[in-house]
Structure 1
Amino acid sequence: MNECDVLIVGAGPTGLTAAGDLARAGRSVTVLERWPSINPASRAFATMPRTLELLQARGLADDVIATGHLAPGVTIFGGAHIDMSHLQTAHRSILITPQVNVDTALTRYAEGQGGEIRRGLEVVALEQDADGVTVTARPAEDGDAEPVRWRARYVIGADGAHSTVRDLLGVGFPGHTVLSSIALADVKLRNGPDGQGLTVGSTREVFALLAPYGPRDADGAWYRAMVWDRGNQLPDSASVDPAEVADVLTRAMGVDYDLLEISWRSRFHCDERQVARYRHGRVFLAGDAAHVHTPMGGQGMNTGIQDAANLAWKIDAVLGGADDSVLDTYHAERHPIGRRVLLQSGLMARGITLNPRPARALRNLVVPRLLRIPRVRDAIAGSFAGTTLHYRRRRHERPLVGTRATEIQLAEGRLLDLHRDGGFVLIRERGAAETPHPGVDLLQAQRCDDGPAVLVRPDDYIAWTGPSADRAGWASVLHAWTGRCADVTPLPLR
């Protein structure tokens, strides 16, 4: 029987982020993945600003950015543009790069922190009791091989839309199919759009999306293309003909980009689904195992990585002595975010594929005008980027609680760099002396503006705000989240 603190099923971006974070905290972590190697044919291609912040806090952002193309926003329909350039973040662009590059960086991170990744193994059984979870796996390519068993304190199911962990738990995945027969391909275009970021084109019958993958050479440039034809609905198993891709691109964009080559292609359908609960005893669902939605807006991979960043430090805290109720906050905080992502990506998909002419005309008139209003522009861009998403605060908490702390200006360095080792950070007011905290390993920093002191969680969100001299205030919150500062009374988390 193999043993570890946390067993993670699925070595995609969600599972790898959780593995790296838990291993960084000193926990023993094993990841089981049925694929024998990193999947080179993943669908995701857009890394959003909030995810880039999380990668920066793990020392990965620069390497991943170097693999792709930074786009200022998304052109959708009627000339409307979702513009990221005004966001309150150091990362004001969408990174266009194949998911395999993100997976590769996160694999280095997880293994570099001491996480164990076991590939070629599929989970076949899961049983949990009061003390832990027993998971049985076997080689994916040899069903007759001797099964291998693991015993873990907690399990994270990050094994995708067709999650085995979810099925073994008997958890429903309610929802419905939104679009069928979407073709995805990597294409080289002689005359593709130049420097426009993500570009979407549509008519009543077709839509297409183009994401630039790199610089132009003498012949042309490579793009990730997504195309859909209302009149050509085929099963997922049907092959994708290059002529189909070229035809839909021309009809949707209104211009012939001259398709030169296709290196990879697939066909899929997209659903809108979400589990009712993210926590099931000692087993947690994250990423696509918990929620799936349309690919419009590039939210899937990003939401999963953010799920992992929320969950991992909480499991570490409970393993370190925090109350079990800390783990309930994972569902409380992330389920509403998942529901919002389903809504906004679904609205974009329905907007792009509108069929009635009057509705399309109204869309093309109203949406571009709305997106020229700064407050609307920044709210919509921030929602897709993930930078304006926040967690609901409780009645006794002050307004800043639950919002990102990443843009607080520090006297020295940046918060994302201070978070390379994880843990809580107390940011004091400008000029305030360091606050003693005997017996507590707490990193401190100082603001260089006139804002209040804040206690920042390992996932960069504010847990408390007030005067830093109020040790009873911030220490009680720290104790509630971590079990530390035992000489104070913890405030309730719910």
Structure 2
Amino acid sequence: MNTVPATASVVIVGAGPAGMTAGIALADAGVDVVLLDKLAEGANASRAVVVHARTLEVLESLGVTEQLHEHGLVVPKFVMYDGDRALARVSFAGLPTKYPYTVMIGQESTEAILLARLEKAGAQVYRHTEVTAVTQDADGVTVEYTDADGTPNSVRAQWVIGADGMHSKVREAARIGFTGATYPESFVLADVRMNWPDARDEVSLHLSPEGVTVVAPLPDPRPDRYRIVATVADAPEHQDLAYVQALVDARRPGAHARVEEIVWSSRFRVHHRVADRYRAGRILLAGDAAHVHSPAGGQGMNTGIQDAALLGRLLATVVDGAPADILDEYETTRRPVALGVVKFTDRVTRMATLRPRPARLVRNLLIGTATRVPAVRRKLAYQLSELANR
């Protein structure tokens, strides 16, 4: 195991997609950057699987979008169902971008691509390093950590980026509030092999009294791999084949889909929270350390990557001698985006999980009527693609 340097210009805590994106932007600018992560390896499951148009644009500047295409599946359509009835069909075609679609790709593949690019830029992820304390003063920040053997050590930096997730120790050390709440439902994620009636060029959102369900195709040599995301009252610790089959049968009763295999599954609670500020002195936040929300629309990882690309670029100029108040642009630009994403995904989640039949009938009528208007469909596609974040 390589030894963490004693000093660095920037230390990034967390080597997920947001942390590595910031690291690439900094390393490309010649900044001495160190990434610390407590995990032994990167994501080995699909987790976040949607890469939207705006993120493809941002990652093009880092030279990885072509690889995402090579390993991913292009999906240009989004369909909303209630039972067997399609309420709305939205196409990303015609959006003002080189990438009028989403790319479906497992997070493990996205992280592998970003890691290779990070190392090509000359930076490195130091794993088995769990941060225990972050202390800043007028001249810099001390990051204390333990290595794989539990040995305590520290690294001194000019700046620290906390990209260490919802339970961020960096955010806590900076005493930055994380305002929001927790949804009462559980979420189930399952990557499965199943026969599915819809074309593999569309993601479907299914509304039902039991909860909201998303079904998305995943890249695979065999055309039967899909991601299922579903809200449930209380998810079991382990989701077996019968449980996932019952979910599919209840949420899309006419699909006659048969789940053949569970490749990977998980459960989690979802919060909707945004950090009260994105900077405290020499400490900055990005990704899930700055915002978490419902997975509706697949906005989370995308928003974090976009955060990190801007932050890395701005921080590189500051390290190079520009005034530190340039960093104010980061919060004023990206925090409103996070607030908007939380509002949008919260609205979608609550709309999708309506239970009273009269309310569902009104919802369906409004959705069906509104999305017959081309301008409404374009607006929804524009919002989902995050192109408004330019």
Spell out the pairing of 1:219-230 with structure 2 (5 A cutoff): 221-230=224-233
Equivalent position SS for 1:263? strand
**1:344-384 CA distance string (max 9 Å, x none):** 11111111111121221111111133223232222221122
Letter in 2 for 1:123: V
**Alpha-carbon distance between aligned partners in 2 of 1:173 and 1:102, rounded to the nearest angstrom:** 27
- CA-CA distance at 1:308 after TM superposition: 0.6
Tell me, what secondary structure is at the counterpart of 1:369? helix
Q: Secondary structure in 2 aligned to 1:188?
A: strand
| Residue aligning to 2:370 | 370
Cα deviations across residues 114-138 of structure 1 (Å, max 9, x unaligned)?
A: 1121011110011111111110111
Equivalence for 1:250: 249
Counterpart for residue 110 of structure 1? 118
- What is the CA-CA distance between 1:106 and the residue it aligns to? 0.8
Counterpart Cα distance in 1 of 2:274 and 2:203: 27
- The 5 Å alignment of 1:323-362 reads 323-362=323-362
Report deviation, 1:68: 1.6
Match of 1:41 among 25, 45, 53: 45
CA distance in 1, matches of 2:379, 2:60: 23
Mapped partners of 2:224, 2:376: distance in 1: 33
Where do residues 68-467 of structure 1 align in structure 2 (5 Å cutoff)? 68-77=72-81, 78-139=86-147, 141-143=148-150, 145=151, 147-214=152-219, 217=222, 221-230=224-233, 233-234=234-235, 238-254=237-253, 255-389=255-389, 404=390
- Matched with 1:430 is none
Report deviation, 1:387.
0.9
Distance 1:204 1:16, change over 3 A: same
Q: Say which SS state the counterpart of residue 246 (structure 1) adopts.
A: helix
C-alpha separation in 2, matches of 1:251 and 1:117: 44
Worse overlay, 14-23 or 247-256: 247-256
TM-fit CA distance, 1:179 = 4.5
Out of 46, 56, 69, the position equivalent to 1:52 is 56
Distance 1:205 1:119 in 2: 41
Q: Which runs of 5+ in 1 are unaligned?
A: 390-403, 405-494
* More helix as a share of residues: 2
Say if 1:227 and 1:249, in contact at 8 Å, map to a contact too.
Answer: no
Read off the aligned partner of 2:53 and give its amino acid letter.
P
Report the Cα distance in structure 1 between the residues aligned to 2:364 and 2:70, rounded to whole angstroms.
35
Greater RCO, 1 or 2 (C-alpha within 8 Å, sep 6+): 2
Q: Distance in 1 between matches of 2:170 and 2:345?
A: 25
Q: 2:34 aligns with which of 5, 30, 35?
A: 30
Distance 1:360 1:48 in 2: 29
Quote the offset at 1:196 in angstroms: 4.3
Q: CA deviation at 1:209?
A: 1.4
Letter in structure 2 aligned against 1:248: L
Number of residue pairs matched by the alignment: 381
Partner of 1:297, secondary structure, is coil
Deviations 1:459-485 (A, max 9, x none): xxxxxxxxxxxxxxxxxxxxxxxxxxx
Q: 2-side partners of 1:250 and 1:50: how far apart?
A: 34
Question: What is the CA-CA distance between 1:166 and the residue it aligns to?
Answer: 1.3
Secondary structure of the corresponding residue to residue 58 of structure 1: coil
Preserved CA contact (<8 Å) 1:179 1:271: no
CA shift, 1:173, in A, is: 1.5
Q: Distance in 2 between matches of 1:79 and 1:5?
A: 52
Q: Is the 8 A contact 1:4 1:28 kept in 2?
A: yes
Equivalent residues of 1:379, 1:388 under 8 A apart: no
State the distance in 2 between where 1:182 and 1:175 align: 18
2:171 aligned counterpart, secondary structure:
helix
Deviation at 1:192, TM superposition (A): 4.5
Is 1:14 the counterpart of 2:22 in the alignment?
no
Identity %: 37
CA contact under 8 A between 1:209 and 1:227: conserved in structure 2? yes
Query: Secondary structure at the residue paired with 2:212?
Result: strand
What is the TM-score with the length of structure 2 in the denominator?
0.94
For residues 8 and 300 of structure 1, the distance between their equivalents in structure 2, rounded to whole angstroms, comes to 19
Structure 2: how far apart are the matches of 1:191 and 1:331? 43
CA contact (8 A) 2:188 2:232 kept: no
Tell me, yes or no, if the aligned pair for 1:206 and 1:248 is still in contact at 8 Å. no
- Whether the 8 Å contact between 1:75 and 1:200 is mirrored in structure 2 is yes
Q: C-alpha distance in 2, partners of 1:312/1:273?
A: 23
CA separation in 2, counterparts of 1:229 and 1:278? Answer: 32
SS of the residue 1:79 aligns to: strand
Residue type matched to 2:76 in 1? P
Cα drift, residue 109 of structure 1: 1.3
Q: What is the alpha-carbon distance in structure 1 between the residues aligned to residue 161 and residue 89 of structure 2?
A: 37
Q: Any idea what the Cα deviations from partners look like across 1:258-283, whole Å, max 9, x if unmatched?
A: 11011111111111011110001000
Aligned CA-pair RMSD: 1.6
Superposition deviation, residue 29 in structure 1: 0.5
Unaligned runs of 5+ in 2: none
Residues of 2 paired with 1:42 and 1:221: CA distance? Answer: 15
